[in-house]
Structure 1
C-alpha cells in the first residue's frame, strides 16, 4: 500500500513540474465601427445584420458575438480572444473585418439595437444605436 501511495505521489510530483505549453488568452470587447442593418423589419422575417470592426493586433482573433436581449433592446458587441504573447504586431487602420448574425423578428413595435463602440474618458460604455420599427 505504501508503494502505491509513493508511486501516486511521484506521478503528481513529475506532473506538476512539466512546463505549461498552452497559450493563454484573455477576452476583450472590440468596438463596432459600422453596421449594415435594415431601416424597417417585417414580423416573422429573418434579417442578416452585418457589423464591421478592426483587429488592433495580430494576437486578436474573433471569438464570438456578445448578444444580450432585454425586452426589445438588443446589446451587441464583438468578443475577441487575445493571445498573450510578446510577438503581437499592431495592425494598420485598413484592416476592417466583417461579421454578421441573423435576426428573427418576433414581436411588434420597434427594436433598439445598441452596438458597443468602446468607453468614454469616464469609463462609461458608448453605443451606436439604431431604432428599427416593425411594420406589417
Structure 2
C-alpha cells in the first residue's frame, strides 16, 4: 500500500510540474513626462506634492517608479515603466494619460531646478522642460 501511495505521489509531482515557459519578456523603459502640476513655491522640511502625467504607450506598460536624479539643487525627473510582453501581445494605447504623485521634501531653502524629461529629438538628444522654483 505504501508503494502504491508513493507511486501516485510521484506521478502527481511529475505531472504537476510544467516545463513550458510562459514566454514573457520583461524589461524597463523610460517614458517622457507629458505634463505636471506643482505649486508656485515649496516649503522646506515639508512634503510637497508634484502630480506628474504621462502617456502609457501600450497595455503592457505599467508605472514602476520615478527616475529621479539629484545634482545639488537640480532634480531630473522621468517615468520608469515596467513592460511585460506576454503571449497575448500588447495593445497600443493612443490617448491614455496616467498620473502619479512625486513627493518632494527639501531639507534646504534655495532655488531648485526641476528638469522633466520630455523624450528625445530626431538626433537622439534628450529633451527637458525646466522649471525653477523657490523653496522657502
Distance in structure 1 (CA, Å) of the matches to 2:113 and 2:64: 24
Q: Which runs of 5+ in 2 are unaligned?
A: 1-18
Distance in structure 1 (CA, Å) of the matches to 2:80 and 2:113: 20
Q: Residue 73 in 1 paired to residue 74 in 2?
A: yes
2:90 is aligned, of 77, 88, 91, to 88
1:43: how far off?
2.0
1:6-55 alpha-carbon deviations (Å, 9 max, x no partner):
xxxxxxxxxxxx44336221111111110011111222222111100010
| Aligned residue in 2 for 1:102 | 103
SS state at 1:32 partner: coil
- After superposition, residues 105-124 of structure 1 pair within 5 angstroms as 105-124=106-125
| Aligned residue in 2 for 1:4 | none
- After superposition, residues 1-136 of structure 1 pair within 5 angstroms as 18-21=19-22, 23-85=24-86, 87-93=89-95, 95-135=96-136
CA RMSD of aligned residues (A): 1.7
Distance in structure 2 (CA, Å) of the matches to 1:125 and 1:71: 20
Distance in structure 1 (CA, Å) of the matches to 2:36 and 2:135: 18
Distance in structure 1 (CA, Å) of the matches to 2:135 and 2:52: 21
